Chains A and B, each alone.
Chain A
Amino acid sequence: MRNDRILGALVLIAGIVLYAATAHFPGAASNRPGPAFLPRVLAVLFAVSGFLLILYRKPTVNDASENQPRNRFKVVAMIAGLVLYSMIADTTGFLIAGGCLTFGFCSLLGNSWRVGLVVTVVLVPFIYTIFSTVLGVVLPVGWLGW
């Protein structure tokens, strides 16, 4: 969906908030501007761009498939799954948290539980092996101890 009016308003507000956020930054020295200089230039850029976008907006375009509540639910559920993963991964470990995330996401995509199980059983140990064994990345260990 394209909506220049909303995008322009958001960018305009971002410019104002950004400028206000630099109010407590240290001031300029005699031979150079201070740390607020670039953020303030950007704040002005955002404010002007947002204003111009609202002024010269194109007609709003709606995408039917994006507006389907079912598809939107999938995105919200996926983000919730990712947040949950980052909350429990340190406790349960990568294999359990990653397995739950993969199986849940497979179900969300409309795969049968059998396909979901196969994908999870193949994918999670595969990624664990690549990152942990080949690259030496320490993935969260958790309950299983490895």
Chain B
Amino acid sequence: MIADAFALVFQPSILLVMAVSGLYGLFVGSVPGLTATMAVALMVPFTFYMDPVPALAAIVTMEAMAIFAGDIPGALVRIPGTPSSAAYTDDAYALTQKGRAQSVLGVCLIFSVLGGLFGSVVLMIAAPLLATFALQFTSYEYFWLALLGLSCAALVAKGSPLKGAISLGIGLFLSTVGLDPVDGYARFTFGYSDLVGGVSFIPAMIGLFGLSEVIRNLLRSDVEIRIPQTERHGVLVEVFRLLGRRKKSLLRSASLGTGIGALPGAGADIAAWISFGVSKRCSDTPEEYGQGSLEGVGDATAANNSAVAGAWVPALVFGIPGDTVTAIAIGVLLMKGLQPGPAIFERQPELLYAVYIVFFLANLLLLPFGYLAILAGRRVVTMPRRILLPGILLFCVVGSFAINHSTFDIGVMIVMGLLGYYLEANEVPIGPIVLGLVLGPMIEHHFMNSLIKSQGSLAQFFTRPVAGVLGILCLVMWFYPFISYVRRWRKT
């Protein structure tokens, strides 16, 4: 089985796909203002034409590279390349101003690789164990699990939980467009036959993350980018010195990152913020944090790369995405007729092993590719946006059209782009929309099925032990903000 998985991955075509998507991830991550999620959304039309293994390999490699590459503009010009680098951008840039850009980028590279490898080990161990347990789940457990994932996405997402809930509601609403899963009644199609099958996933993703990014860049007045001078010694000189002192903290940050990554809606950026905060609290020199702490940068960057693998644990085991990128990846698998979940561990174990191998390989590839990216970083970071944006726009248009050969989908992309821009301008996170869109049909299907099985009785949702625990967890999660508000109010 493992040999089959190796044979699946170590094919020239798949290695080429990984190399190309890795370079693409490094490029997008290095350009300020372009996010890893946008890169994945633009890549989806390509993955649609690939087999599942190369498609997943492309997404995993691209994301791992982009998350690291986001550190490059953060350190060189104080503009994080992706939101995951925002937590330690000030520290990285402060070190660059002190002439230590090579050292800080070297630390980012090696700690990212180690964090990513740690996350891959956890994924490999935790996913099969959880899958054995998940095989006993019925529609009741899946309903609660999906609801718990959605609730988590709204509450844990950046910014206000209220705005997270609105974003989630929009995603769920979009998932109701088209034929209803039980009765086959056409909902919100407004007479358009293109909407009977639902809102097309790929144009929606491209609009939300690609076109909205183009709009944001258009509205931003260009600022000249200048990079401070850097030291002349090699990239890795300070890394090994720091590694010797920070083995335990690296382990702590990587564990934290993997755990947070596995929470639906949390993702790599929250993992980096929390890890940076914990690192400061545990440090002997907390006064350096914010002024240029190499330790803080290392810990946070290890956490955001380990979170990438962490997000795949619930995605593979339960079909519940841990972050926006895994939500898109689940969408890709569903389009290919593959339903992530415990059954896939029994029916197609070679696919799972292939995913583990891809994770290890992507993180190992990051070493040479990342090193080259650091050397080329100055040129990429200062690349003019007015040359890049036309390419992104044309990719958005062709990518939206490609799946169904329909200009209607370009319209969907435009609407979703404007919606994504408006929501982000109002500090509404757009990640939960994707989770809502992916998990909406699952929730509705399992809810209806459970009710049919129980003859309309809601009590059955709590009688099975796991379903009962998940249900109570869900209720606690919803009511906790109100309870804590009342407690604070009574105290004051």
Contact = CB atoms under 8 A, between A and B. Distances in A.
Contacts of A111: 386-387
A114 interface: no
B176 A38 contact: yes
B455 A31 contact: yes
B135 interface: no
Interface string B396-420: 0110011001010011001000100
Query: Chain B contact residues: over half helix, strand or loop, or mixed?
Result: helix
Interface string A1-34: 1111001000100000010010001100011111
B129 interface: no
A136 B49 CA distance: 9
Contacts of A75: 215, 218-219
Interface residues of A, number: 64
A42 B173 contact: yes
Contact of B391 (A25, A49, A79, A123): A123
Given A49-B162, A75-B219, A38 B444 contact: yes
B185 interface: yes
Contacts of A127: 394-395, 398
Contact of A46 (B169, B394, B428): B169
Nearest to A11: B166
A32 B182 contact: yes
Nearest to B46: A135
Interface string A43-83: 00110011011001000000101101001101100110011
A38 B188 CA distance: 13
Contacts of A138: 405
Interface string B97-127: 0000000000000000000000000000000
Given A39-B176, A65-B221, A45 B169 contact: yes
Nearest to B223: A65
Nearest to B222: A110
B410 A82 contact: yes
Interface string A97-113: 01001100110011100
Contacts of B390: 102, 105-106, 109, 119-120, 123
A30 B457 CA distance: 11
A105 B402 contact: no
Contacts, number: 153
A139 B218 contact: no
A124 interface: yes
B183 interface: yes
Contacts of A35: 180, 182-183, 185, 187
Given A2-B427, A86-B410, A139-B398, A25 B218 contact: no
Interface centre among B219, B394, B402 (most CB of A within 10 A): B394
Interface string A106-146: 10011100010001100110010001000111110000000
Contacts of B219: 63, 65-66, 71-72, 74-75
Given A31-B455, A75-B218, A137-B402, A86 B169 contact: no
Query: Chain A contact residues: over half helix, strand or loop, or mixed?
Result: helix
Contacts of B490: none
B393 interface: yes
Interface string B212-241: 001100111100000000000000000000
B448 interface: yes
Contacts of B172: 38, 42
A23 B414 CA distance: 29
Interface in B432-472: 440, 443-444, 448, 451-452, 455-456
B426 interface: yes
B488 to A, nearest CB: 15
Nearest to B177: A39
A25 B187 contact: yes
A127 to B, nearest CB: 6
Nearest to A89: B407
Contacts of A119: 387, 390-391
B165 interface: yes
Given A42-B173, A106-B390, A26 B425 contact: no
B386 A2 contact: no
B389 interface: yes
Given A11-B166, A101-B394, A25 B185 contact: yes
B163 to A, nearest CB: 8
Given A33-B451, A35-B185, A135-B402, A18 B411 contact: no
Given A109-B390, A136-B49, A131 B398 contact: yes
A4 B159 CA distance: 13
B432 to A, nearest CB: 12
Contacts of B389: 105, 109
A123 B452 CA distance: 54
Across the A-B interface, give the 9 residue pairs with the lowest CB-CB distance, nearest first.
A35-B180, A109-B386, A31-B456, A86-B407, A32-B451, A35-B185, A86-B410, A65-B221, A137-B402
11 contacts: A32-B456, A42-B173, A45-B165, A52-B162, A78-B215, A89-B401, A89-B407, A105-B390, A109-B218, A135-B402, A139-B401
